[in-house]
Amino acid sequence: MADCAFGDGTTRQEFADAGRKLVAKVPDRPNSAQIPKEDFKIDLMSKTCTCPAGQVCKTLVPIGRRKNRKGQSQEGLGFQFDPTVCASACCG
């Protein structure tokens, strides 16, 4: 059990790789004009993501680099959707 400080993706991956189950709250997302991540269905095994409008995306694009807890640089990847499809069905 851990608080949300241990809920980042790197820590969760390390636990999964070690065969351990991590139970930690995911940090709250700040208010913004974007659709929250929680509204998307992410399938890590098939590397797909479905937006609230039902559009399935298989396109991963680089979204920058960051350092993990060990100081190692990692490239972040994100799914790229057609914004007109998602915006019209989700937010229009």
The answer to whether the pTM exceeds 0.95 is: no
Q: Given the DSSP bridges, would you call strands 56-57 and 60-67 parallel, antiparallel or unpaired?
A: unpaired
Q: Strands (DSSP E) along the chain, which ranges?
A: 41-43, 48-50, 56-57, 60-67, 73-79
- How far is it, in rounded angstroms, from Cα 37 to Cα 10? 17
Residues 12-60 have pLDDT tens digits of: 788 889 998 877 776 666 666 677 778 889 998 999 999 888 889 998 8
pLDDT greater at residue 80 or residue 27: 80
Q: What is the C-alpha separation between 67 and 73, in angstroms, rounded?
A: 4
Task: Answer whether 90's CB lies under 8 Å from 39's CB.
Answer: yes
- The lowest-confidence range among 2-6, 31-35, 77-81 is 2-6
